Structure 1
C-alpha cells in the first residue's frame, strides 16, 4: 500500500498572499495572528536532504479577525538557503545531510563549531520581534509581512555554542514576567547546558553579538555539566522549578569529529549510552533541588509540569511524550517517512511524578494515551507550570507517517480517554489552544490546526471548539503546505505563548 502522507514531505516553492475562503463560522472574538514554521523545500539544488529536520524553513502567517483569514507564506532567508539557491548545495552540516564543501572547509566547520542558520523548527516573539528559531546560535527575524530583518545571535551575552529552539514564556501577570527561560548548549571536553533568563521587554538592555538584530540581554542562572553529550530538545517549567530531562541517548563525539573526513552526520553519531534517564530539578533561580532517575526513554516535547503538596512543593507532576529509544531521531529519515512500508517511531503520552524529598528515589511513569502521539500542548498562558486537566496532541493511526487525528486527552479520566477529530485523507498538525475572552474553564476557547488534505492536495486552517472538540469552521489555503512543526498564536486573549 502506498504511503498516503508523502504529500506533506514534498517541497512547496510557491509564496502567496491571499484572503482565504472560510466555511462554517469563526467566533467573533477570535482575533490575532497564527504564525507557524516548518519545512518548505526538501532539496539543496541537486542534493536531496536526508532527515525531517534538514529542509529549508518556511513561515506561514494567518491573520484572523472579523470572521476572515488572510494568509501569507514566505521561505526563511538564511545563508544556508542562499548558498543552496546559488546552486552550491548544502552549506553547513545538517542533522542528516553532510555539507557539500571541500575537506578543508568541512574540517574548519567541525573544529570551529559552525552550525546551520536554517531555522525550521519553531517561532518566538521576543520583545516585539518575530523570530524563526531552531537549535542553533542563529534565529532569523522577520517583519509583519514576513520580510527578513536579519539574523539574531541568540548566544550573545552567553558562553554557549547554541541555544535550544524551545523556550518558556512567563507572562507579565506571573512572578518574574514578562520573561523567557531558555537553555544554551556548550560543546567541549564536557557538554554544558546553561539555564538562562531573557527579559521579554523592548526597553531592556540589548546585545547583538555577531547578529544583525539585537535581543534583550540574557542572564545566566545555572550550568549542568555532562561527560557524555546527551540530547535535550525541551524542558519543563513550574511556578518555582525548572526540570531538565537527561535522557540516555545522545551523540558520540568521535563520530562527529571524524565526520569531516567520512561525511558522517549528527544522525550517524546518535547513540544509546546504556543507562538510566534522569530528571534534573532546579529552582527558577538556578539552585539544584533534586536528581530523579527513571527507566530509559527518549523525549522531544513536554506537555506541562506542575507542583503538588501543601506549601512548599513535595513533588512535581510532569506530562510528556516518551519514546522507547533513539529511533525517535534515527527513524525520521525522509526515506523512511516516505516509504510504502514506513516504520514510524511511536511515542506515548505519559505522566511522571518526581519526588523532591529524597535524592535517588526513582520515578515510574503512568500511561495517559498510547501512541504514536506527538506535539502535546495545553492552555499555555493560564496553565503552563500549573495544574492542568487537558492535553491536546496529534495521533497517528493506520498506514503512513503523518498524524491522522487530533486528540483532546482528559488526564482526569486517563488512561486512554480522549475526544478526537479526524477526517478521511486529512493530516492535522500541532494543536494550538486559544482561550476565549474571560474564559472561566480550562477548555473555554478554540483549538487551531493546519491540516493537510491529501485528496484535495491543499491545506486548510481548522478551528475546533475546544470544549466539545467539534468543528466550528475552516479556512482554505491556496495551496498545499508541507507538514509544519510548531506555531504560536498572538492576540488579545493570548498575547504570547511559547511551544514546549
Structure 2
C-alpha cells in the first residue's frame, strides 16, 4: 500500500470516529422544550415561519412582475436545511436540518419552482421511524449507532451543477447526486473507490479549465484533504495537509497559485452527551485567526499568517498581486457559530453589529497579513464566475441597512473593492434577502455585464420571490420579480446554470 493511500485510509478512519464525536449511550437530547419555545415565539414573529420547516415536495409557477430578461435562461439550483422537527422534538441548530433542494427554472419570460428533500440514509430511516435517530451538528441524539460520515449526512448546504450532473453538498460527508430535472435522489457519489466516504465540502471552486478544487475537513482530525477534479469529473490530484487544531472550516479561496483557508480559533473538548457543535469552544481570547496558504503545484503548506481572532464562514475571491495575494472575507466578532442556534428556539439575533466584509493582503516577504474594511454588516460574498481565482473588482454581498429596525438581511450590494463604494438596493420592511449570485451574459468579460439573481422572502405575505437585478445598476431595484404563492425554506447556497 502506498504512503498516500495509507494516509487517506487513516484520515477516513479518524473522520468516521469523529462523526460520532462525544457520543455515548444515553437518551436523545433533541427535546420538546425547544419545540415548545419556538412555536410560542412563532405566534409573535412572522419571520420565524421560515425556520418552521416543511414536510414534503413543493412545486409551482411564479407570477412575474416586471420583465424577465430575454437572455437570462437557465436553472438556479439552491439548497438549505428544511426539516427541523420530528415526533414532537426540535433540533437545536439551524445547520442540523435535513437538506431541501430547490430548482428555479428561468426562461422564455417564465419562472417555475420545485423543492424536495434529499433522500439521504438519515432522512429515510428517521422518516420511517417517526423520530430523529442520529446525531446532528448541534443536537446530541443517540438512538441508533453511527457507522460512517454518510450515516449522518444531511446534504443541506449547497447544490452544485457540474459535468452535466447535480450534487447536494454538506460539510462532513460525500456529495449526493440528484436528478437535474426532478431533484429525485440518485445516490452517494464516490469520486474514486479509495475515496469512498471521504468528506467533500460544500464550497468547491471552479478553475478556468472547467475543473474543480475542493477540500474535505473533519474537526479534530487535524488534516485537510485536497481534491482536484478535471472537467470530466475525474479525480486528477489529491493531497493531505496537516493543520494543527483544525476545527470549523466552511469555505476557502483559490488564486492562480494558491489555496487559502481561514481557520477560526476554536478548541475541541469532547465529552459525553455533546454534539459536535457543543464540543467546539471559542478560544478567541488566547488564539488568533490563522490564514493557511497551500501551494497549488505541490499541495503543501507554503505559509501561515495570523489575524485578530474572528469567526469566518465565507470568503469571496483571491488573486495574486505581485509578491502578495489578496482575498475577500466576511469577519464576525466572537462566536457567531453558536449564536446561529438561537433561531431554533425562537430568537433572531441582530446581525447589524459585529460583522464586516474586508479585503486581506497576504505579504509573503514581510510574513504579515493586512486587512482593509470594505463594508459593514454583511454575509454571502460572491463574485462573477469568470473572475474566480483572478483579479476581480466587484463583490456581491447581502447586508443590513445602517439604522435599520430590522435584524435580518435587507440590502443587496455590489462592492467596488478598489474604491470601497457600493451599488446598493434596500428591500421594503418585512422582506428578508437571501444569497444572490452574479450571472454573466454569454461571452461577458465585464463583471457587471449581466445580472444579479437571488431570492428574498416577503415575510408579511408568506411568499418567496426570485429577484433579478441589472448588475450594472443595483440601486435601480429589481428589473423583474418572480413571486411564488408559497414560501419554501430559506437556503444557504446555490448556483445558476445557464442553458
Mapped contact 1:160–1:186 kept (Cα < 8 A)? no
Q: CA deviation at 1:411?
A: 1.8
Counterpart residue number, 1:315: 324
Counterpart residue number, 1:63: 105
1:394 aligns with 2:425: no
Matches within 5 A, 1:202-281: 216-217=234-235, 219-221=237-239, 223-249=240-266, 251-252=267-268, 254-255=269-270, 258-259=271-272, 263-273=273-283, 274-281=286-293
- Pair 1:417–1:142, CA change in 2 (3 A): closer
1:443 aligns with 2:443: no
**Under a length normalisation based on structure 1, what TM-score does the superposition of the two structures give?**
0.84
- Pair 1:138–1:438, CA change in 2 (3 A): closer
Q: CA deviation at 1:138?
A: 2.5
1:250-273 per-position Cα deviation (integer Å, ceiling 9, x unaligned): x51x41xx33xxx21122111134
Matches within 5 A, 1:29-428: 29-101=71-143, 105=145, 116-143=152-179, 144-153=181-190, 156-158=193-195, 161-170=198-207, 174=208, 177-185=209-217, 190-201=221-232, 216-217=234-235, 219-221=237-239, 223-249=240-266, 251-252=267-268, 254-255=269-270, 258-259=271-272, 263-273=273-283, 274-285=286-297, 286-309=299-322, 314-325=323-334, 327-335=335-343, 338-339=346-347, 346-358=354-366, 361-371=367-377, 373-379=378-384, 381-397=385-401, 398-399=404-405, 402-414=408-420, 417-428=422-433
Gaps spanning 5+ residues in structure 1: where? 203-215, 493-500
Mapped contact 2:73–2:108 kept (Cα < 8 A)? yes
Q: How far apart are the structure 2 equivalents of 1:44 and 1:345?
A: 34
Q: How far apart are the structure 2 equivalents of 1:445 and 1:278?
A: 35
Q: How far apart are the structure 2 equivalents of 1:448 and 1:468?
A: 13
- Pair 1:346–1:122, CA change in 2 (3 A): farther
Gaps spanning 5+ residues in structure 2: where? 1-40
**Under a length normalisation based on structure 2, what TM-score does the superposition of the two structures give?**
0.84
Mapped contact 1:92–1:114 kept (Cα < 8 A)? no
- Pair 1:432–1:49, CA change in 2 (3 A): same
- Pair 1:50–1:401, CA change in 2 (3 A): farther
Q: CA deviation at 1:159?
A: 8.5
Match of 1:266, SS? coil
Q: How far apart are the structure 2 equivalents of 1:53 and 1:81?
A: 15
Q: How far apart are the structure 1 equivalents of 2:115 and 2:178?
A: 12
Q: How far apart are the structure 2 equivalents of 1:400 and 1:348?
A: 17
Q: How far apart are the structure 1 equivalents of 2:76 and 2:150?
A: 32
Q: CA deviation at 1:388?
A: 1.5
Q: CA deviation at 1:235?
A: 0.8
